[in-house]
A and B are shown apart, each in its own frame.
Chain A
Amino acid sequence: MSQPFRTEKGGRIDRSQQLTFTFDGEEMQGHQGDTLASALLANGVHLVGRSFKYHRPRGILTAGSEEPNALVGVYRNGDQTPNLRATQVELYQGLEAISQNRFPSLGFDVGAVNDRLSMFFPAGFYYKTFMWPKSFWDKVYEPVIRAAAGLGKPPKNPDHDHYGNLYAHCDVLVAGSGPAGLAAALAAAETGAKVLLCDEQAEFGGSLLTEANATIDGKAPADWVADAVAKLQAMDNVTLLSRTTAFGYFAHNYIALVERVTEHLPTPDPKLPRERLWQVRAKEVVIAAGSIERPMVFPENDRPGILLAEAGRTYLNRYGVKVGHKVVVATACDTAWQAAFDLADHGVEVAAIVEMRETPPESLMSIAKARGIRVEAGCIVTGTLGRKRIKSALLGRLMTSGQVASGGQVDCDALLMSGGWTPTVSLYSQSRGKVVWDADKGAYVPGKSVQKERSVGAAKGLYGLQATLEDGYAAGEEAAKAATGKSATITYATATGGEAGDGGTLGALPHDRNASRVKAFVDYQNDVTAKDVKLAVREGMQSIEHIKRYTTTGMATDQGRLSNMNALQIASGALERPMTDVGLTTFRLPYTPTTFGVFAGVARGDFFDPVRKTPSHDWVVDNGGVFEDVGQWKRTWYFPKNGEDMHAAVARECKTVRDSVGLFDASTLGKIEVVGPDSAEFLERMYTNPWKKLAPGRCRYGLLLNDAGFITDDGVIGRLAEDRFHVTTTTGGAPSVFATMEDYLQTEWPDLDVWITSTTEQYAVAAVQGPKAREVIAPFIEGVDLSNDAFPHMSVREATFCGVPCRLFRISFTGELGFEINVPRRHGKMMWETLAKEIEKHSGTTYGTETMHVLRAEKGYIIVGQDTDGTVTPQDAGMTWAIGKKKFDFVGKRGLERPDLVADNRKQFVGLLTKDPKVKLEEGAQITTAETPATGTPAEGHVTSSYYSPALDRSIALAVVKNGHALDGKTLYVPMPEGSIPVEVTGTVFYDKEGARINV
């Protein structure tokens, strides 16, 4: 067996299953049940990465999700997922992992020169250094920073995994399955409440899987866990989710979980998602998130081989791995002593327990003495030696003067440290609770509950196995009672051992070293030292929020769970203010890094956003049409023939429509059916135009404003009967117009007897436009006399098209004779194909949105949202004719009278003709009075629409210009980088000004 640091026996790994994996290409062995971190440690590998900024060699520090150093990339299906915490990556046969942020190799990394040059990289380095010249930002600074700093590299290919999503409801959600969480789940489940228990680890049990010196109900803790889990599993009212992190606590007890479904499997079932998002609405939540150990802040506390004490104990008891053969334990609290004792019991040489407290508890001293362990009380570690792995620790003796005297040197190959424990208040904090300082515990603990949650056990600073269990049971009972009103008689398990003890320290430890030359790390992942925090204070940062952002302490993926308390203490010392005055940064979601994939879920590719297709879609595909996206709609842009480019195709389409006939799919237009005795009154109040006198069978252009007086939508409205209108809206405005109508109807005029229904999807619409339009539709229409006299422009009739009921409008958005035929959607394909065939007989063409735009611009018809921008009134647009001046009220009427809307100098809608007809203006280009205006000159307006007009054989443009209506014939300029373009202001109608072509 090639695992020199594996224990002889013990641990929860399956020694019968040997697994082979590689790290940076080197093949190694581990066992089923290992994490990548425990397997690496079993092989004696501590050096697993290089640090973010200084490229210092870094090793595994923790055994949990808070791991700041051991970030690795794992290959799967030819692609690599970066920044996975080795402490969470479960080992499987053939796992392939790499280290990160090193070049050319982990052992020899040229970036490590940053460590030597660290005096040039103080806190706020970027802000101070990379300021000028401006051009250096994208050419030098950015590339250099990107290359030198950072962690893993993003994968190159699109994510080949898929992700699931589930909604769940429960009475009691328990987050965390340590002693408190398990007890809470057991108690709540016993009452019959619907319980969901989740834990981020592969196995339930939390700290109980590490605990070897205690019993629960006379059983070993891990055995009690197994029984408890079996009991919960057998209950129908309990859902157990391992490998599932509660990463976000939102309003109204809505909690997001991510379940890692396949990542631990060597050959996952491809049908299974990689991860699953659980969106849980819980009546009550029990936060049993536990606590994590704090690093001690002493110089060179970041060498590979230095771990947190409880992590060392976890590797030993849970994974059967010794962190070293000769271990120093540095501590300020009781719990780390147990790590030393457990190691000693497994035959590991404990070189010394370096205890910061002058008089450690006698009970611990006697156990140490019995095992022959050297204890250095009143001592701290003042430094470490060894570059890629710790070789020895420097000791310092704390003097009453506050000074530190050298205490010699102890050789070791690993060092375990413990600065005490920090309750994990992240979820509580996310629930918007405010943490409070508990001076006795020396910790921030959850304060008042804001939502329906309660923190239990170590998460609220309560330690000791028996106390934690009791707290868990009680909380489970209470939560179930609150959620369901039910209770049951719960038998509490009783524990022996697992005492918490006390002690702990915060902040940087004193030392006798040259302060300017040594680094004591506070935030490992972001390479923030105690010095950086002090420097930030010296440079004027007062608030912890500023210190955090200036130094980046606490901004790593653990969100400061490891570092915050130490940073806070250092800042408080530097500011000479009590810690509670310095404040605490807010813990935000996600609790641990969460993949984008799980948020995206199935909303990728075709499912990212629905695609809306019109009935002509397949025909257009078959006939080589080009689509453009208009919101969710696929609309045909143009129909190139015989290798035409867009310009040629559009010119041909325009000419054909004006000369003979064109067919256009107008199905995307919004359609609203307005029905009821008061429907005319309703439209009268909604639109600017008068509707009451509109005769059934006639149409009118309708202009819609908001109450501020600005144009928001337009469309033709046909009256089908006294009490029935067919309203059309713009394609993009359909939902908002419908919502606005509902709003006024329901909340302002509930007395009106009107129903409105969105019918956009109910009709397919074909627009047939051009001099031969009547001839094209005539063979298929029955029930209407199509003659100009009987069916004039702006009329509507109910008829049939090829025997199918239709609404036939005689309307035009081209300035030509035009019809729009509305048939039930299911007949749209038939209608389109029938008409497409028919127009060929008349040398007609199908045309797309681009031609539609050109033709309407030639006629000066506005497009709401292109020629208007939410600040244009009907007067500005030259459309006062659309306003029913005698009306008592309509939406926007009062708004139009506001002083600013009737003032001079408003931008008004005009036409522009370039002096050189070949020059086409850019849409959005600014317009000035001076040919070459001085820098800073405000524009008079801007170009809103600009096209080449085939009918005029020249460019045309529409624009909004200050006082434009008074500038007819005047010359203005459009300054462009290639030179200023002179333009003449004209009216907005360029073609067939008298409108004769429409009435034939």
Chain B
Amino acid sequence: MLLVYCPYCGVSRPETEFSCRGEAHIARPADPSQTSDEDWVNFLYMRSNSKGVYVERWRHIHGCGRFFNAVRNTVSDEFLKFYKTGEPMPDLEELAKEAGK
């Protein structure tokens, strides 16, 4: 069972307190009516599903209820970073390099 850190509560808690809501930084287009069919379908369904470093949305559903983002290595399940919604995506290559040390 993963140990997840909530950046709002400032605590690590077991995975069962949270729900994972898929890949992060998939922004909903600001004006959907101006979005092409292809772009809309990409927004709806296409995810990078990468092996290795992956950025996910998590929600502290049985805690504060807030959404936040986490960088997780999908191979080792190691979390490389937790940060609040709205903060920019960290440099993944840099993070992976640091973790590999």
Contacts and interface: CB of A to CB of B under 8 A. Distances in A.
B32 interface: yes
B60 to A, nearest CB: 11
A899 B36 CA distance: 11
Given A746-B66, A895-B40, A898-B37, A281 B85 contact: no
B28 interface: yes
Interface string A627-661: 00000000000000000000000000000000000
Contact of B85 (A251, A739, A750, A888): A750
A8 interface: no
Interface in A639-694: none
Given A739-B59, A747-B85, A889-B32, 15 more contacts: A250-B1, A251-B2, A251-B77, A254-B14, A707-B28, A707-B44, A742-B65, A742-B67, A746-B85, A889-B33, A894-B29, A894-B33, A894-B35, A895-B40, A898-B37
B3 A899 contact: no
B11 interface: no
Contacts of B14: 254, 281
B44 A743 contact: no
Contacts of A250: 1
Interface of A: 250-252, 254, 279, 281, 432, 450, 707-708, 739, 742-743, 746-748, 750, 888-889, 893-895, 897-899
Contacts of A748: 28
Given A708-B44, A750-B86, A894-B33, A743 B2 contact: no
B19 to A, nearest CB: 8
Contact of A254 (B3, B29, B33): B3
Nearest to B43: A707
B67 A746 contact: yes
Interface string B35-53: 1010011011000000000
B94 interface: no
A254 B1 contact: yes
A381 to B, nearest CB: 46
A748 B37 CA distance: 20
Nearest 9 A-B pairs (CB), nearest first?
A894-B32, A252-B3, A251-B77, A254-B1, A746-B67, A748-B28, A747-B67, A251-B2, A894-B40
Contacts of A895: 40, 44
Contacts of B2: 251-252
A746 to B, nearest CB: 5
Given A432-B76, A746-B85, A889-B32, A251 B1 contact: yes
27 contacts: A250-B1, A252-B3, A254-B3, A279-B1, A432-B76, A450-B76, A707-B28, A707-B43, A707-B44, A739-B19, A739-B59, A742-B59, A742-B67, A743-B21, A743-B59, A746-B66, A746-B67, A747-B57, A747-B67, A747-B85, A889-B31, A889-B32, A893-B32, A894-B29, A894-B32, A894-B33, A894-B35
Contacts of A279: 1
Nearest to A252: B3
Contacts of B66: 746
Contacts of A450: 76
B61 A739 contact: yes
Contacts of A750: 85-86
B76 A899 contact: no
A963 B73 CA distance: 47
Interface in B76-92: 76-77, 85-86
A743 B32 CA distance: 18
A898 B32 CA distance: 12
Contacts of B33: 888-889, 893-894
B65 A281 contact: no
A687 to B, nearest CB: 16
B65 A898 contact: no
A134 B15 CA distance: 45
Nearest to B32: A894
Contacts of B21: 743
Contacts of B32: 889, 893-894
A743 B68 CA distance: 11
Given A746-B85, A898-B41, A252 B67 contact: no
A250 to B, nearest CB: 6
